[in-house]
């Protein structure tokens, strides 16, 4: 009989081993951050004494929560473990009266989440770039005035539709990621956060609000110059044509497609045109 229990710090080695089956590269720091943000909202599935699955939730006040890391041991797939984990996470969030519950889902898993009551919202692309040298001559020397953390968090809240300042602060303070950005005037702002894994970099979130048209290109070139030694992955909304065109112009290629999904109904809370990259911070 399946049991679902709260995830503890002692479960992290299992969580890493399980997520490695999907080649996510999720680290101890990632799972510690998720437990810090939501100590009661991360769950492990047990079949007898054996741990067989996990999922995590991240809540942004009462307005929005995100489900991530839904993964089941390969030996127990097709036995309703994933459904029960997600249903448990939904019940937990509903008890807290969260208004919207969202997640990111690759195309191959859409029907799984539709069966659980989630609806497609908008499509995203997962892109990959092989290591490639950027010459010094192509890197812009100056982006303009540096961005303060306070303004960065303001811009992120406006683009994402909810306050994830605790999450971003933890990513930066633990050394799991770093950012480049610029504030151009009273309203114009752009920042890109980079997560550094042992075998790759991941770009995102990247928020761009009312800046000069050339600033996103300058930011991308500066970041590429600092991360050229390893493969890079980034996720952006298909409908953000400027972001898609920019990435493809700098040798990023589409590797997977998927959807942002919301439980029950679509939730128009984000400013999608301001989101150049999503980040998948809720995954890990």
Higher pLDDT: 26 or 36? It is 36
What local confidence, expressed as pLDDT, does residue 16 receive? 94
Q: What is the pTM of this model?
A: 0.90
What local confidence, expressed as pLDDT, does residue 184 receive? 72
E strands along the chain, which residues?
2-6, 42-47, 50-60, 64-72, 100-106, 118-129, 177-183, 189-196, 201-209, 232-237, 253-263, 275-277
Q: Is the pLDDT of residue 284 over 60?
A: no
Q: What is the mean pLDDT of residues 27-33?
A: 90
* Contact status, residue 160 vs residue 205, Cβ threshold 8 Å: yes
Give the residue from 69, 62, 65, 71 showing the smallest Cα distance to 102. 65
> 188: which residues sit within 8 A by CB, 6+ positions away?
209, 210, 211, 212, 215
Give residue-wise pLDDT tens across range 118-150.
999 999 999 999 998 776 566 666 666 678 899
């Amino acid at each position: 009989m399946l049991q679902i229990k709260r995830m503890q710090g002692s479960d992290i080695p299992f969580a890493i081993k399980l997520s490695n089956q999907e080649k996510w590269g999720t680290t101890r720091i990632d799972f510690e951050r998720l437990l810090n943000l939501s100590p009661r909202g991360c769950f492990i599935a047990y079949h007898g004494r054996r741990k067989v699955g996990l999922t995590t939730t991240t809540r942004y006040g009462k307005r929005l929560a995100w489900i991530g890391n839904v993964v089941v041991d390969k030996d127990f797939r097709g036995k309703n473990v994933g459904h029960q984990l997600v249903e448990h996470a939904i019940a937990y969030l509903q008890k807290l009266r969260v208004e919207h519950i969202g997640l990111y889902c690759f195309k191959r898993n859409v029907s799984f989440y539709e069966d659980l009551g989630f609806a497609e919202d908008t499509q995203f692309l997962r892109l990959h770039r092989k290591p490639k040298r950027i010459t010094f001559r192509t890197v812009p020397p100056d982006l303009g005035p540096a961005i303060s953390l306070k303004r960065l968090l303001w811009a992120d809240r406006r683009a994402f539709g909810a306050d994830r300042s605790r999450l971003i602060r933890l990513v930066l303070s633990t050394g799991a990621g770093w950012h480049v950005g610029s504030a151009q005037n009273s309203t114009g702002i752009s920042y890109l956060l980079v997560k550094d894994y042992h075998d790759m970099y991941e770009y995102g979130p990247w928020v761009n609000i009312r800046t000069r048209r050339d600033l996103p290109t300058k930011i991308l070139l500066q970041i590429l110059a600092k991360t050229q030694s390893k493969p890079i992955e980034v996720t952006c909304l298909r409908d953000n044509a400027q972001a898609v065109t920019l990435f493809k112009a700098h040798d990023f290629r589409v590797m997977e497609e998927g959807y942002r999904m919301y439980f029950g109904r679509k939730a128009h809370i984000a400013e999608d045109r301001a989101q150049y990259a999503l980040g998948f911070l809720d995954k890990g």
